Structure 1
Amino acid sequence: MTLTSAGPPVPVVELRGVAKEYPGGVHALRGVDLTVHPGELLAIVGPSGSGKSTMLNVIGTLDAPSAGTVKVAGYDVGALSDARLSALRARHLGFVFQHFHLAAGRDAVDNVADGLLYAGVPRSRRRERARAALERVRLGHRLGHRPAELSGGEKQRVAIARALVGEPELLLADEPTGALDTASGRVVMELLHELNAAGTTICVITHDQEIADSLPRRVRFRDGAIVSDVRTGEVVPR
């Protein structure tokens, strides 16, 4: 958690007036305001083409907005050099994708340890932290297994461990159950709830209404804009 010297926690994400336009006049985002506080578990939900994937890229500093301000962990992303932006991404953000992106020839420990390649952690320490991260996602019995020896749900848990091993302030999970059967998807979502209860801030990008409704905050997108921001027991007007 990032703290100011004499105040409340700094938001993990703060977007103000964010727009994204692509060539041909395609407006993927239109004046988006969004604040994510430490410890939140939220869904960014909407149909294909609604702007949620662009939001993932902007929040994850993978793409720059056409207009507006993006702050991650209190840092104005637009004011950072490429080197500092890469360092910010490595230190503060963890990514989980639908299709795992694991190296086929490497076991679970090495796949997770690769999440620390750009963090300046010695190799022996990387593997130690990787084992601890795998224990955290209940895969201590699969440390030496390669992706081909793992189920889909286990592969996704390895990917989650890789995202967590650097102890990021924000975990961005893009359709984390999209390639899984129902039972495996349920296990992954239960794990995300457990990780959030332990203090990890998590943002799930999804088109799945059932998954979104299971989370305590739902930010709904349509046509590049937020149309509702609902917390359990509370509606934030738009």
Structure 2
Amino acid sequence: MTEPIIELHGVTRSYGSPPTVALAGVDLRVERGEMLAIVGPSGSGKSTMLNLMGTLDRASSGDIRIAGEDTTTLTDAELSGLRAYTIGFVFQQFHLADGVTAVENVATGLLYTGVPLAERRRRAAVALERVGLGHRLGHRPSELSGGERQRVAIARAVVGEPPLLLADEPTGSLDTRSGAAVVEILHELNRSGTTVVVITHDVELAARLPRRVSIRDGRIELDQHDRTLEVA
């Protein structure tokens, strides 16, 4: 069996005093190449789990390994390096820079990898082609639809070809048609080998993914696999 890309063992996360428990003893294993949804209502702990899997936050207790790295032992600088080369992020609100073009927005995904500017732009153009926006390289976010802006954000997340993509409510700001197009892009990335984890409260979106992990009150209450939806 290959090494999983995500492993959580007995992970807890609490905040404040007296403590508010956001995660309570979570165990989760995600194999390389999987595609899954972590689904739950607001306040269930799914965003906390995203932050921990993305090394944006540290657990209060328990063990977390990402791509074989024990994140509890890494310095902040080492965690930044792990994120730069291993994890791509997609958020509901796009987080694009309004004053620059699509290709320049995507090129920022390689900013901390040491890649020269010309090569960053070349790879950004390739990533935009990959998500169907090769004809929009010179457009600014204000000139793009919501669905196109999310595709730019996805291109930025995958321009460095990270093995793991974490998508937080990726269709939450989109209409049905644009949302369906974004989900298909995520499926295509998964078919090409990227591990895709979607954080969502949308049970219909979750039902379209081959694995669904339901979380409530900081605990995993259900972990389902639908073999018919897995990559062939």
TM-score if structure 2 supplies the norm length?
0.96
2:2 to 3, 9, 15: 9
- One-letter amino acid of the structure 2 residue matched with residue 147 of structure 1: P
Tell me, in whole angstroms, the C-alpha distance in 1 between the residues paired with 2:45 and 2:63: 17
Partner residue, 1:139: 133
Tell me, in whole angstroms, the C-alpha distance in 2 between the residues paired with 1:67 and 1:163: 29
Deviation at 1:10, TM superposition (A): 1.8
Tell me, in whole angstroms, the C-alpha distance in 2 between the residues paired with 1:135 and 1:164: 12
Identity %: 65
Partner residue, 1:211: 205
Tell me, in whole angstroms, the C-alpha distance in 1 between the residues paired with 2:78 and 2:13: 22
Question: Which residues of 2 match residues 147-166 of structure 1 at below 5 A?
Answer: 147-166=141-160
Per-residue displacement from partner, 1:125-150 (whole Å, max 9, x unpaired)? 10010000000001001000000000
Partner residue, 2:171: 177
Question: Which residues of 2 match residues 21-100 of structure 1 at below 5 A?
Answer: 21-23=14-16, 24-100=18-94
Query: Which blocks of at least 5 consecutive residues in structure 2 are unaligned?
Result: none
Deviation at 1:90, TM superposition (A): 0.5
Tell me, in whole angstroms, the C-alpha distance in 2 between the residues paired with 1:182 and 1:150: 17
Check whether the contact 2:12–2:23 (CA below 8 A) recurs between aligned residues.
yes
Query: Which blocks of at least 5 consecutive residues in structure 1 are unaligned?
Result: 1-7
- One-letter amino acid of the structure 2 residue matched with residue 213 of structure 1: A
Check whether the contact 2:92–2:173 (CA below 8 A) recurs between aligned residues.
yes
SS at 2:212 equivalent: strand
Tell me, in whole angstroms, the C-alpha distance in 2 between the residues paired with 1:171 and 1:233: 21
Tell me, in whole angstroms, the C-alpha distance in 2 between the residues paired with 1:233 and 1:118: 38
1:118 to 112, 126, 132: 112
SS at 1:42 equivalent: strand
RMSD of aligned Cα (Å): 1.0
Question: Which residues of 2 match residues 187-202 of structure 1 at below 5 A?
Answer: 187-202=181-196
Tell me, in whole angstroms, the C-alpha distance in 2 between the residues paired with 1:110 and 1:9: 36
SS at 2:62 equivalent: strand
Partner residue, 1:229: 223
SS at 1:90 equivalent: helix
- One-letter amino acid of the structure 1 residue matched with residue 108 of structure 2: D
- One-letter amino acid of the structure 2 residue matched with residue 20 of structure 1: R
SS at 1:16 equivalent: strand
Deviation at 1:233, TM superposition (A): 4.8
Tell me, in whole angstroms, the C-alpha distance in 1 between the residues paired with 2:77 and 2:56: 13
Check whether the contact 2:71–2:79 (CA below 8 A) recurs between aligned residues.
yes
Per-residue displacement from partner, 1:23-61 (whole Å, max 9, x unpaired)? 132110010000111110000000001000000000000
Tell me, in whole angstroms, the C-alpha distance in 1 between the residues paired with 2:183 and 2:78: 32
